[in-house]
């Protein structure tokens, strides 16, 4: 079976499973009272069911299982090493989903940040034990801490990006499509399958999550999606040295990294707790500038798509092309950050 058809099947299965599963998760949230209540720190005005992340989680794994059943000649899907990696990814996501569910269930009090960090470091450790780690310095005592920092950082970045209807799911889908495009062009069948499965699951959920959202993914979804994007980024291969592949992964995930950096620096500057919630994210600042909620989200979708396009050029053209096209984008991002930081929130 041609790879293109296989990718299409994986995407459709994930999309369909998420489309069907999200209303079920929404019903479950209502049944067990897992609702996100309005507050001064949030944009929505009515109690909204959480647990939509369970539909993303289920849709992703249903499609991955479907991928393992496809008859792909010379595919790396059936290699023992691949089976070990998939098992490790599955086991690593369990602590995140459990902690995310508990945080969603007891949203009023919420779990302490250390509980979430403990789950994230545990997941990073499980991935590393199975050989899923960065190869930037080719030295274990440097690459292992960087791997943990990368996994925990991206997981939290996606979690923080979930501050407006459809933003986190849409941005994750765009990043996943970017990862898929790069992986497919480089013949990375497993990475491409994981990425396109995540994209399908997110888009299925987005049908119910775009403004006005009838369901939120909660930490159950954001922690899972962030971890998965981090793992896909670690396995991505680009033209050039190993460290360049890491730079390309950073470029793909530029939007959540930008938003987290902006919020963190701003809160430190204002002497506020970094872990607290608030309306000081990029999306909120765009609304302060006069954009309606849906348009602010669409602008950030566009920024994520541009980042993905630049990453594709960097992946195909190597270091020289990356510097030529990537440097102006970095300068533009810094300028945008300085401008947005001055918006009164």
Q: Please give the share of the chain, as a percent, with pLDDT higher than 70.
A: 92
* Domain around 253: 3-341
Q: What average pLDDT does the segment 16-41 reach?
A: 86
Least confident among 71-80, 109-118, 144-153: 71-80
pLDDT band, residue 108 (cuts 50/70/90):
low
Burial 74-90 (b: 16+ CB within 10 A, else e): ebebeeeebeebbebbe
Strand partners, 35: 49
User: The whole model's pTM is what?
Assistant: 0.93
- pLDDT band for position 32 (50/70/90)? confident
Distance of CA 342 to the CA centre of its chain: 27
- Taking 60 as the threshold, does the pLDDT of residue 11 lie above it? yes
Number of domains forming the structure of the chain: 1
Token look-up 């009272």 returns 33
Sequence-distant (6+) residues with CB within 8 A of 11 are 63, 196, 197, 199, 200
Is the pLDDT reported for residue 226 higher than 90?
Answer: yes
């Amino acid at each position: 079976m041609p790879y293109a058809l296989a990718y299409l099947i994986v995407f459709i299965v994930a999309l369909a499973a998420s489309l069907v599963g999200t209303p079920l998760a929404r019903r479950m949230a209502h049944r067990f009272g897992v609702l996100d209540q309005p507050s001064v720190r949030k944009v929505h005005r009515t109690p909204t069911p959480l647990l939509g992340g369970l539909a993303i989680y289920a849709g992703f794994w249903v499609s991955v299982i479907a991928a393992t059943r496809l008859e792909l000649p010379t595919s790396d899907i059936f290699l023992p090493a691949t089976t070990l990696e998939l098992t490790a990814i599955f086991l690593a996501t369990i602590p995140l989903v459990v902690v995310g569910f508990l945080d969603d269930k007891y949203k009023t009090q919420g779990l302490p940040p250390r509980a979430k960090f403990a789950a994230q470091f545990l997941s990073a450790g499980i991935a590393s034990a199975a050989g899923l780690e960065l190869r930037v310095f080719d030295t274990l005592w440097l690459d292992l801490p960087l791997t943990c920092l990368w996994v925990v950082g991206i997981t939290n970045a996606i979690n923080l990006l979930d501050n407006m209807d459809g933003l986190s799911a849409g941005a994750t889908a765009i990043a996943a499509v970017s990862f898929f495009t790069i992986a497919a062009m480089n013949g990375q069948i497993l990475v491409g399958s994981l990425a396109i499965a995540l994209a399908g699951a997110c888009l299925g959920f987005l049908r119910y999550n775009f403004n006005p959202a009838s369901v939120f993914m909660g930490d159950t979804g954001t922690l899972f999606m962030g971890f998965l994007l981090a793992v896909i980024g670690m396995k991505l291969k680009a033209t050039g040295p190993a460290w360049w592949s890491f730079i390309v992964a950073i470029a793909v995930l530029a939007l959540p990294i930008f938003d987290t950096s902006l919020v963190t620096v701003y809160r430190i500057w204002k002497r506020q707790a970094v872990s607290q919630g608030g309306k000081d994210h990029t999306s909120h600042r765009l609304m302060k500038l006069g954009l309606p909620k849906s348009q602010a989200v669409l602008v950030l979708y566009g920024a994520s798509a541009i980042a993905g396009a630049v990453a594709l050029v960097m992946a195909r053209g190597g270091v020289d092309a990356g510097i030529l096209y990537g440097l102006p984008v970095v300068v533009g991002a810094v300028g945008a950050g300085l401008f947005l930081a001055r918006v009164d929130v």
